[in-house]
Structure 1
Amino acid sequence: MVLPCLDEAAALPGVLGALPAGYRAVVVDNGSRDGSPEVAAALGALVLREPRKGYGAAVHTGIEGASAEIVCVLDADGSLDPAELPRLVGPVRDGHADLVVGRRVPVSRGSWPWHARVGNAVLATLLRRRGLAVHDIGPVRAFRRQDLLDLGVADRAFGYPLELLLRAAEANWRVRELDVAYRPRTAGTKSKVSGSVRGTARAVRDMAAVLR
């Protein structure tokens, strides 16, 4: 499991403690100042450091550094439950899907701010118009490691998950979407995307560039 990480020390104990049996965490630190790498290492995670700023840079470094055949990517802020990962891995493991993405289902009104939800909905609509039946540019996904590396995803910012979906569609991947519970992130953490209108706008800008 790859966890891109920027100042998530408060959330990491809960996230890593919920890891299913047989799963190994690869925490990719993207410049934290709150001791996140030390917390992750103390809890048994493999810690990699990615000095280039950007969600895609951290995720891709984690995928390159992982050793498992099937890899999952999950946000490290506590908003998603690692216990749901086996359900996403199953269709990939059994040969029924090449990529499984999580469709976030908020468990409370404050889980997903309106500006982030609107931005996500617009981008998902554009993807469906291109023939990819997804409703979320989700922060959780499962796939075979080498297959993803072979796609050649180039974006290293917030456009990474969108480019992944576009390239998967071009490669005729079987993409499956499953509902996952989306909770308020752990107290003391802040989303780099949905935590502010500015963060959401930056992510949409990066993803729009990928669409162009």
Structure 2
Amino acid sequence: MKTEQLNSDLTAANTESDRDGGDDRGLELSVVMPCLNEAETLQICIEKSLDTMQAHGIDGEVVIADNGSTDGSQEIARRSGARVVPVESKGYGSALRGGIAAAKGKFVIMGDADDSYDFTHIPRILEKLRDGNDLVMGNRFKGGIEPGAMPPLHRYLGNPVLSGIGRLFFSAPCGDFHCGLRGFRQDLVERLDLRTTGMEFASEMVVKSTLHKVRIAEVPTTLSPDGRSRAPHLRSFRDGWRHLRFMMLYSPRWLFLYPGLLVFLIGVVGMLWLLPGSRFVGNIVLDINTLLYAAGAVLIGFQAVLFSVLTKVFAVTSGLIPKPVSWEKWFQIAKLETGLILGGVLMVGGVIGSVFAVTQWGQESFGELDPSQMMRLVIPSVLAMALGCQIALFSFFFSVLGLARD
């Protein structure tokens, strides 16, 4: 329902664009500002943008993506020379997507309407776009953050940590992931198929641009205390979590593959160490109970690795991320038949081990056995059957997802 509403908003935005001057996209630049009750600062932001474009001979416009303001922001925007595009779907990302869809410029520069960003920096961003860059990010840490402009929690923890995670996960060449002043080619948004509706829209744009290997540049910009008397829309922990959640979901390697491999290897090493017999660590005895936990680590880690592969395939086939270069090789190697054979071998091995354990039990007239010895046979046998079953089921699902790869 939310997606249908947003698509309706985008259609309405384009219709509004037609009414306000046709579908002429001959302008060089559109400055897009999301707006929700920004009456106190909207006019100064629009005037700075228009004056800067006029002073530098830039053929452009200002588009206000209004997200349901009730304080008269729409009339202020029109009176100040901007074009207003109503966007009903709530959220920072929704407003920007509606405004960008209605933009008539070849290039788009987006910025908040709270007077915290310096719109006189428009020319330095536009120059980088003219040089052939697809996305140009502002960097507030290079340009300067005025006292009181950014809470210490954001300045010294939130932004550096999230930007660092973005660079680690995706090798993104950006030092300030969440700078709200940035420019890009208008057609880039269509290519990236941006979908988020909240504050994580900022991260989605950078992550997808990096994954699509577009040209990204940075320019220094400044951040000033915003000019509003009310509290900002941003909620530190809620929106910080949404940024982090998005980056983790878009990087199954770091969320599932690497942790899964680590847990799997720890389990394998633990099992190989404990299978011959009990071990002593100081005065502590590690025996079959620890062996069982090691087998559990193998199972959990292996499942996480398989899940990372399935997540990657689903993301690619759904168009969320671009196809990797080795895409077709995956399906040549991980064939259904190969998975079924490997899974079958493991299950047969587990069954053989189980039969041998029952035989040993029979030799003792099905009475009591030495748990320390028997469990060293039973645990690996059960684990082999479980892993074999997982591989077989994975192979079926992997093949099903692969049907949509073309």
Whether the TM-score (by the shorter chain) exceeds 0.5 is yes
The answer for the alignment partner of 1:40 in structure 2 is 77
Aligned residues of 1:10 and 1:189 also touching (Cα < 8 A): no
Deviates more, 1:151-160 or 1:111-120: 111-120
Larger RCO of the pair (alpha carbons < 8 Å, separation 6+): 1
Q: Which has the higher helix share?
A: 2
Which aligned pairs between 1:116-131 and structure 2 lie closer than 5 A? 116-117=154-155, 118-129=157-168, 130-131=170-171
Q: Secondary structure at the match of 2:60?
A: coil
Following TM superposition, by how much is the alpha carbon of 1:62 offset from its aligned partner in structure 2, in angstroms? Answer: 0.5
Q: Deviation per CA, 1:120-163, whole angstroms, max 9, x where unpaired?
A: 21110011112112121210111110122211011111110101
Among 162, 165, 168, the residue aligned to 2:209: 168
Which aligned pairs between 1:48-67 and structure 2 lie closer than 5 A? 48-67=85-104
TM-score by length of 2: 0.49
Which aligned pairs between 1:142-181 and structure 2 lie closer than 5 A? 142-181=183-222
Instruction: Name structure 1 gaps, 5 residues minimum.
Output: 194-198
The answer for the alignment partner of 1:72 in structure 2 is 109
Aligned residues of 2:114 and 2:228 also touching (Cα < 8 A): no
Percent of pairs identical after alignment? 30
Q: Which has the higher strand share?
A: 1
The answer for the alignment partner of 2:302 in structure 1 is none
Q: Secondary structure at the match of 1:27?
A: strand
Which aligned pairs between 1:128-139 and structure 2 lie closer than 5 A? 128-129=167-168, 130-136=170-176, 137-139=178-180
Instruction: Name structure 2 gaps, 5 residues minimum.
Output: 1-30, 250-406
Matched, 1:188 2:188: no
Output the amino acid matched with 2:101. E
Q: What is the CA–CA distance in structure 2 between the aligned matches of 1:52 and 1:119, rounded to whole Å?
A: 27
Following TM superposition, by how much is the alpha carbon of 1:23 offset from its aligned partner in structure 2, in angstroms? Answer: 2.9
Q: What is the CA–CA distance in structure 2 between the aligned matches of 1:114 and 1:53, rounded to whole Å?
A: 28
Aligned residues of 2:135 and 2:182 also touching (Cα < 8 A): yes
Larger radius of gyration: 2
C-alpha change, 1:189 and 1:83, in structure 2 (3 Å) is farther
Q: What is the CA–CA distance in structure 2 between the aligned matches of 1:150 and 1:108, rounded to whole Å?
A: 36
Q: What is the CA–CA distance in structure 2 between the aligned matches of 1:121 and 1:32, rounded to whole Å?
A: 32
The answer for the alignment partner of 1:210 in structure 2 is 246
Following TM superposition, by how much is the alpha carbon of 1:188 offset from its aligned partner in structure 2, in angstroms? Answer: 2.5
Following TM superposition, by how much is the alpha carbon of 1:107 offset from its aligned partner in structure 2, in angstroms? Answer: 4.2
The answer for the alignment partner of 2:60 in structure 1 is 23
Q: What is the CA–CA distance in structure 2 between the aligned matches of 1:31 and 1:115, rounded to whole Å?
A: 30
Question: How many residues in Structure 1 have an aligned counterpart in Structure 2?
Answer: 206
Following TM superposition, by how much is the alpha carbon of 1:173 offset from its aligned partner in structure 2, in angstroms? Answer: 1.2
Deviates more, 1:142-151 or 1:61-70: 142-151
> Please, what is the CA RMSD of the aligned residues?
1.3
Q: What is the CA–CA distance in structure 2 between the aligned matches of 1:36 and 1:8, rounded to whole Å?
A: 6
Aligned residues of 2:136 and 2:216 also touching (Cα < 8 A): yes
Among 146, 149, 152, the residue aligned to 1:111: 149
Aligned residues of 1:107 and 1:181 also touching (Cα < 8 A): yes
Q: What is the CA–CA distance in structure 2 between the aligned matches of 1:23 and 1:182, rounded to whole Å?
A: 23
The runs of at least 4 consecutive aligned structure 1 residues that moved more than 4 Å come to none
Output the amino acid matched with 2:207. L
Q: What is the CA–CA distance in structure 2 between the aligned matches of 1:150 and 1:126, rounded to whole Å?
A: 24
